[in-house]
């Protein structure tokens, strides 16, 4: 029998990462929320917090490939293991295969120590030790599946159904480029609050106060890509000079093109990044009607608006289908950032790809169609509406907008001119991670015809 290493000290980063991964799988917790709560409670130093974050997201991103590499070392399927053992094997395999800063012996030794902490009997620790040592001795990975979709799914760690549909739509090469981009660590981007400072002034301040280097985003004029750092600890964040937002998300408010003095509705407003951007573009003049069915998440909108010094954001709890009657025909601009599969933001929410199924796209479509129809009733004649999702899937975009236009003859596509990303023939603007370096987003602008 392979001897078990003597249990040594366990780093808090790996201990917390194990607990988070178990919560994500067992409780279907969202990784970002579970991570935030765990780090806040554990009060890890910045280096340990960064390692914990890397292990959690890396393990989730590469889960399928990790299982494929571990499978030959196991005598029973991964699905039959205790959840904490499965998570421990995966997170350690991630360190062994993807992180070169951690010596292999140290990663295995610490995994054994964690197993001894988790179990009163020696069996799990012996099992973990044997499997991981076998993995470190493996000369080559196992053969890939014969199917092009399954092979790409293993190499880029995606479910077969998603790999197959992207290959069918984009072709093998581009589909793999998309999958590769969605496995990358996403950049940290912030939006300068131009009511308080310019983008250049924010960059200079971050360099001086936080020793943080930045570069301008390529498409959004308010954005900065940050080399490193924790925005929640910055003075510039605390005083409302900036907020965290991906570049693709910044372009959605710009597509709506609100004007100072407008009445604008954000019908799915939480957590508030787009609602506050609209208020910023409106020079904090007019009104933003921020709607969301979840009261707890809507409080985040109000909190963000207060921090950024925005006074025109009004929060209203409830779905737009219920609230629409109170605002019918009163809005100059309407934003529908529809709830969706989130398949365009997998680099930030990698656990989603292990939860979604193709049936979810059809299920979500019905909700999206209802939201769009209700939101459209808010617009004045001549008003604009932007429908957007953080999904690239046609079922959630074209297949929602086309039926709407077919049933609402007073609405037309209002394709933008001179926009940083050119619309397709339908008028849809698509942000692609492997092309634009942003999250995956789809958005289309519509205009209600003026009364005769």
Q: pLDDT tens for residues 115-141?
A: 999 888 888 999 999 999 999 998 889
H helices of 119-246, where? 123-137, 148-156, 160-170, 172-182, 199-210, 235-238
Report the pLDDT averaged over residues 99-114: 90
Q: What integer is the mean pLDDT of 312-326?
A: 96
The HSE-up count of residue 136 (CA atoms within 13 Å, CB side) is 16
Neighbour-count burial of 228, counting CB atoms closer than 10 A to its CB (0-12 exposed, 13-18 middle, 19+ buried):
exposed
Q: Where are the domains of the chain?
A: 12-137, 151-182, 188-244, 247-448
pLDDT of residue 452: 44
Q: What is the mean pLDDT of the chain?
A: 94
Mean local confidence (pLDDT), 181-203: 97
Confidence grade of residue 255 (pLDDT, cut at 50, 70, 90): very high
User: Is the predicted pLDDT of residue 1 greater than 80, yes or no?
Assistant: no
Is residue 175 predicted with pLDDT exceeding 80? yes
Q: Is cis: bond before 129, omega within 30 of 0?
A: no
Nearest to 73 by CA among 21, 127, 144, 36: 127
pLDDT tens, residue by residue, 15-70? 999 999 999 999 999 999 999 999 999 999 888 999 999 999 999 999 999 999 99
CB atoms within 10 A of CB 233: 10
pLDDT for position 172: 97
What is the pLDDT, as a whole number, of residue 5? Answer: 39
Q: Distance between CA 127 and CA 85 in Å, rounded? A: 9
Query: In the predicted model, is pLDDT for residue 3 greater than 50?
Result: no
pLDDT reported for residue 9: 67
Catalytic one of 197, 340, 390, 407: 390
Q: Average the pLDDT over 413-432 and give the result.
A: 96
The pairing of strands 428-431 and 441-448 is: antiparallel
What kind of architecture, by CATH, is found in domain 188-244? 2-Layer Sandwich (3.30)
CB 186 within 8 A of CB 65: no
pLDDT in tens, 220-253: 999 999 988 889 889 999 999 999 999 999 999 9
* 331 is an active site residue: no
> In CATH, which superfamily holds the domain spanning 12-137?
NusB-like (1.10.940.10)
* pLDDT(108) > 70: yes
Q: Is residue 6 scored above 70 in pLDDT?
A: no
Over 70: is that where the pLDDT of 374 sits?
A: yes
Which tokens belong to 253? 């408010």
Give the span between the Cα atoms of 206 and 198, in whole angstroms: 12
What pLDDT does 122 receive? 87
CATH code, residues 247-448: 3.40.50.150
Pairing relationship of beta strands 441-448 and 411-413 according to DSSP bridges: antiparallel
Q: Quick check: do 12-137 and 188-244 share a fold? A: no
Q: Is the pLDDT of residue 4 over 60?
A: no
SS3 assignment, position 121: coil
pTM for the whole structure: 0.93
């Amino acid at each position: 029998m392979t001897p078990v290493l003597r249990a040594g000290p366990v780093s808090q980063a790996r201990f917390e990462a194990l607990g988070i991964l178990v919560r994500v799988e067992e409780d279907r917790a969202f990784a970002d929320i579970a991570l935030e709560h765990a780090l806040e409670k554990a009060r890890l130093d910045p280096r340990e917090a960064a390692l914990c974050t890397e292990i959690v997201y890396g393990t989730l991103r590469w889960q399928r490939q990790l299982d494929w590499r571990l499978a030959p070392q196991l005598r029973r399927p991964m699905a039959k293991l205790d959840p904490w053992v499965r998570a421990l094997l995966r997170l350690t395999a991630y360190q062994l295969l993807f992180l070169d800063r951690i010596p292999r012996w140290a990663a295995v030794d610490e995994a054994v120590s964690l197993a001894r902490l988790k179990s009163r009997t020696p069996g799990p620790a012996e099992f973990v030790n044997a499997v991981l040592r076998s993995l470190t001795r493996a000369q080559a990975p196992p053969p890939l599946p014969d199917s092009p979709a399954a092979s790409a799914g293993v190499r880029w760690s995606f479910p077969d159904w998603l790999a197959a549909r992207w290959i069918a739509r984009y072709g093998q090469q581009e589909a793999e480029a998309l999958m590769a981009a969605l496995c990358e660590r996403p950049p940290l981007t912030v939006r300068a609050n131009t009511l308080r400072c310019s983008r250049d002034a924010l960059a200079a301040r971050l360099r001086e106060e936080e020793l943080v280097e930045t570069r301008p985003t390529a498409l959004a004029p308010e954005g900065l890509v940050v080399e490193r750092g924790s925005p929640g600890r910055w003075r510039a964040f605390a005083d409302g000079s900036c907020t965290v937002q991906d570049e693709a998300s910044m372009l959605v408010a710009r597509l709506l093109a609100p004007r100072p003095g407008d009445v604008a509705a954000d019908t799915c407003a939480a957590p508030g990044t787009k609602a506050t951007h609209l208020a910023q573009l409106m020079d904090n003049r007019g009104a933003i009607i921020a709607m969301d069915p979840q009261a707890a998440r809507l409080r985040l909108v109000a909190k963000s608006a207060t921090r950024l010094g925005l006074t025109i954001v009004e929060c209203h709890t409830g779905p737009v289908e219920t609230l629409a009657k109170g605002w019918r025909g009163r809005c100059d601009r309407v934003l529908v950032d529809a709830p969706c599969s989130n398949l365009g933001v997998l680099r930030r929410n990698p656990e989603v790809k292990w939860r979604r199924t193709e049936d979810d796209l059809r299920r979500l479509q019905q909700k999206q169609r209802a939201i769009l129809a209700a939101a459209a009733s808010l617009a004045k004649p001549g008003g604009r509406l932007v429908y957007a999702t953080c999904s690239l899937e046609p079922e959630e975009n074209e297949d929602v907008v086309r039926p709407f236009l077919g049933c609402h003859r007073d609405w037309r596509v209002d394709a933008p001119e001179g926009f940083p990303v050119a619309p397709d023939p339908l008028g849809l603007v698509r942000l692609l991670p492997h092309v634009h370096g942003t999250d995956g987003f789809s958005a289309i602008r519509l205009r209600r015809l003026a009364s005769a």
